[in-house]
Amino acid sequence: MDVKTFEAFSMKDAVKAVKKELGSEAVILSTREKAAPGGKGTIYELTAAAPGSRKVGASGPRAQTTSVDYEAGLDHIQARLSALVDVAATRTQVQAVEAGLQELKLLVTEALRNKEGSLIHDLPKAMLPLERQLRLMGISDVTVAELIRHLRALPAADDTDGEGYYRDQAIRWMMKRIKIAPRWSVMAGSVSYQAIIGASGVGKTSMAAKLAALYALREKHQVVVVSLDHQRLAAAEQMRIFCKIIGLPFVAANSVDDLLKIQELHKDVELVLIDTAGVSSKNSQAIAGLAALKEQGLPVDFHLCVSATAKESQVEQEIRSFLNLGISSLMFSKLDESWAFGEIFNASRKWSIPLSFFSIGQQIPEDIERSTRERVIERIFGL
Ligand SMILES: Nc1nc2c(ncn2[C@@H]2O[C@H](COP(=O)(O)OP(=O)(O)O)[C@@H](O)[C@H]2O)c(=O)[nH]1
Ligand SMILES: [Mg+2]
């Protein structure tokens, strides 16, 4: 078998080199990423083989596979690989930073643990695993301190299952402090306007598409999907195609008037789902544009979509900058890529904004779930 290794500064170029040298029927056997010499960027290494050199392929039924099939297959693999590499790069970097921070936090905690008079000095042994778990999940120091104060005030655990006792008590305490948003009141005879707002790339459009499918297909409501994302044509186009596939009306709106007209055009509409353009938390003009929707008489609720993979400080900043709009709920996306679920609890509690939906993967429409107290707790405690 003619196996060769190719290197390039992008996956696309590496695949191009493979095709050029081994032909369009080449088969990619493995991929690898490594740091470029001197630490400047990343090198993508592909190991590939020319299928003509494979004995089985030449004589078996596979020999009938046309080059068009191979081409299509290769393009598919290339697209999948590029996507994987993109995700892997950012995820690894973020996780490395997060892991470093986590380590620092644990060091500080250790120091506090040994400091006379600190709240966690001399913590009963049965509380230690609980305290560690909460810190590992990124539950804020304020919350951990409050919870420990509460647990310390309880009648002491008996010796048999102290750890279980404190965990159950902690779960009860936390359950009471998780706010879940009421369900949208979507019904015949009235129109509910729900807009998804947030920074670029957090997962607003994916969330809107999943919600459209949930309300229209599963819950059988009359849904109209609106894109207010007129900055990026491709963004609205993506939604238009999705709506066409699932048979929903789609409107690319530019103004409040366009939104108010929807009722005239679609008499039986019950839910207008609005996907908005990504707004940087520093762009006060764009935020004012969203506020104008309400000021001009549209009874719209704003739901802030934030990524569960974002740093705590970033989530803070995003919430802060949209606060004046009145945020009806927080929607967390990318739970499948996150492991510090405490952030969901912290953000909702600190700002007293209820949780509504979680996006748990890239698959549209299935990767969505309604937020529940139980699911938040299960994730934090790894149940
Ligand atoms: N892993 C994962 N990826 C997601 C999730 N939600 C969205 N994404 C991805 O994040 C990227 C940006 O999503 P998009 O909906 O376009 O974000 P928008 O810019 O806020 O509209 C896309 O590649 C999505 O597939 C999720 O829950 N999990
Ligand atoms: Mg979008």
pLDDT in tens, 7-19: 888 888 888 888 8
Identify the pLDDT of residue 97: 67
Tell me whether residue 108 is in a domain.
no
User: Ligand 1 in contact with 239 (CB < 6 A)?
Assistant: no
Whether the pTM exceeds 0.85: the reply is: no
C-alpha 105/C-alpha 346 separation (Å) is: 16
Asked whether the CA dihedral 101, 102, 106, 112 is positive or negative, the reply is positive
Highest-confidence segment of 6-10, 75-79, 262-266, 367-371? 367-371
Tell me whether residue 104 is in a domain.
no
C-alpha 271/C-alpha 251 separation (Å) is: 13
Tell me whether residue 55 is in a domain.
yes
Between the CA of 211 and the centroid of ligand 2 the distance, in Å, is: 14
Of 126, 146, 175, the residue at which a domain comes to its end is 175
Q: Are residues 341 and 209 in the same domain?
A: yes
Share of the chain above pLDDT 90, in %: 50
Question: At CB < 8 A and 24+ separation, what contacts does 59-68 make?
Answer: 67/24, 67/25
Q: Are residues 235 and 370 in the same domain?
A: yes
Tell me whether residue 24 is in a domain.
yes
Q: Are residues 147 and 202 in the same domain?
A: no
Between the CA of 370 and the centroid of ligand 1 the distance, in Å, is: 17
Q: Are residues 145 and 62 in the same domain?
A: no
Question: At CB < 8 A and 24+ separation, what contacts does 54-62 make?
Answer: 54/1, 54/27
Inform me whether the pLDDT recorded for 86 exceeds 80: no
Q: Are residues 241 and 305 in the same domain?
A: yes
What mean pLDDT comes out for the span 50-54? 55
Identify the pLDDT of residue 80: 64
Q: Are residues 250 and 119 in the same domain?
A: no
Q: Grade residue 65 by pLDDT with cuts at 50, 70 and 90.
A: very low
Between the CA of 139 and the centroid of ligand 1 the distance, in Å, is: 25
Please state the atom number of ligand 1 nearest to the C-alpha of residue 206.
Answer: 15
**Mean confidence (pLDDT) of the chain:** 84
- Domain, as residue range, for 149: 115-175
C-alpha 309/C-alpha 29 separation (Å) is: 31
Of 61-75, 270-284, 290-304, which gets the smallest average pLDDT?
A: 61-75
For the chain, the maximum distance between any two Cα atoms, rounded to a whole number of angstroms, is: 79
The SS3 of residue 140 is coil
Between the CA of 253 and the centroid of ligand 1 the distance, in Å, is: 22
Q: Grade residue 20 by pLDDT with cuts at 50, 70 and 90.
A: confident
Amino acid identity, residue 262? I
Q: Are residues 85 and 122 in the same domain?
A: no
Tell me whether residue 35 is in a domain.
yes
The count of structural domains within the chain is 3
Tell me whether residue 262 is in a domain.
yes
Q: Are residues 292 and 317 in the same domain?
A: yes
What mean pLDDT comes out for the span 139-161? 87
Q: Are residues 239 and 296 in the same domain?
A: yes
Ligand 1 mutation target, pool 85, 90, 205, 206, most atoms within 8 A of CB: 206
The 3-state DSSP composition of the chain as helix, strand, coil percent (nearest 5) reads 50, 15, 30
Q: Grade residue 251 by pLDDT with cuts at 50, 70 and 90.
A: very high
Ligand 1 mutation target, pool 318, 333, 337, 369, most atoms within 8 A of CB: 333
Q: Are residues 170 and 67 in the same domain?
A: no
User: Ligand 1 in contact with 334 (CB < 6 A)?
Assistant: yes
In the numeric block, the tokens 């790069």 are attached to 89
Q: Grade residue 94 by pLDDT with cuts at 50, 70 and 90.
A: low
